[in-house]
Structure formats: C-alpha cells, structure tokens
Amino acid sequence: MSFWEHFWDIFWWFFTALVFFAYLFALFAVIGDIFRDQKLSGWWKAVWIFFLIFFPFLSLLVYLAARGEGMALRSLERARKDQAEANEYIRQAAAASPSDEIAKAKVLLDAGTITAAEFEQIKRKVVL
C-alpha cells in the first residue's frame, strides 16, 4: 500500500474523531444549558433529556435551532455574574484599611514577632 492510501484513511479517522468530539461538546453544552435555565420547568427539562438520550443528533439540532439565542444570552449572563463575583472578591481581599493593617502590626508587636522599629516602619508605610 502506498502512503496516499494510508493518508486518506488517517484523514478520515481524524475527521470522524473531530466530528465526534464536536458533537460531545455541543451535547454537554446543551445539557448544561437545560439545567441552568431557570425559566424551563422540570417537566420540559425531562422531555429534553429524554429526547437527547433516545434521539440525540436530531434533538441537539432542534434544541440549538429553537433555543440557541436564549442559550447564548444565558451563557453571557452567567459570565457577567461570575466576573462580578470575582471582582467583588478581589476588592474585598485587596482592600484592607490602614487601621486594620496597623492593628495587625500591633498584634505582631505585642506577640514579639516584630520589633518597635519595624512596627513604626509599617505604620509609616500604611499611612502614606
């Protein structure tokens, strides 16, 4: 057999694998969207899951056609919510007030962990 006969076999195998993984990605995205959608009742969720199990390819196409725009909006809303939560966490973690820093330094001074000179240096650094 020549290289080119094997080449097309390999090409076909990679193409089939690509289609299969794309299908799995879309399937899991749809299943995630079904359970994330709060406006969809439990019965409709069960119906969609039933059809995705027994008629997977057709159900996937119908879901993407019928609810694809809402799926994108829910995904965007979720991303914005996650970003807002991350920003709030960063703000809380990074925003220690000067009095808090001085109080922490005082505790370290009282415990003998730092010297009086280091305590004064921390106070000057925080106040500036």
- DSSP-derived letter for residue 97 is -
Question: Which 8-state DSSP code applies to residue 40?
Answer: S
One domain for residues 18 and 79: yes
Same domain, 88 and 103: no
pLDDT value at residue 3: 66
* SS3 of residue 56 by DSSP: helix
* Residue 53 confidence (pLDDT): 94
C-alpha span between 17 and 31 (Å, rounded): 21
Instruction: Tell me how far apart the alpha carbons of residues 120 and 122 are, in angstroms, rounded to a whole number.
Output: 5
| Residues 105, 126 within the same domain | yes
**Contacts made by residues 75-78, CB under 8 angstroms, sequence distance 24+:** 75/33, 78/36
Number of domains in the chain: 2
Q: Is residue 63 scored above 90 in pLDDT?
A: yes
Instruction: Compute the distance between CA of residue 70 and CA of residue 73 in angstroms, rounded to an integer.
Output: 5
Does residue 63 share a domain with residue 14?
A: yes
Specify whether 28 is located in the same domain as 47: yes
Q: What is the mean pLDDT of residues 76-88?
A: 94
Residues 6+ apart with CB under 8 A from 67: 33
The answer to whether the predicted template modeling score (pTM) of the entire model surpasses 0.75 is no
Residues 123 and 75 in one domain: no
Higher-pLDDT residue of 5 and 86 is 86
The Cα–Cα gap between 108 and 115 comes to 9
- Domain span including residue 119: 96-128
Cβ-based neighbour number of residue 124 at 10 Å: 9
111 and 74 in a common domain: no
**What is the rounded average pLDDT of the residues 50-79?**
93
- Distance CA(82)–CA(24), nearest Å, equals 25
Mean pLDDT for all residues in the chain: 90
Q: pLDDT digit string (tens) for 91-114?
A: 877 767 788 888 999 999 999 999
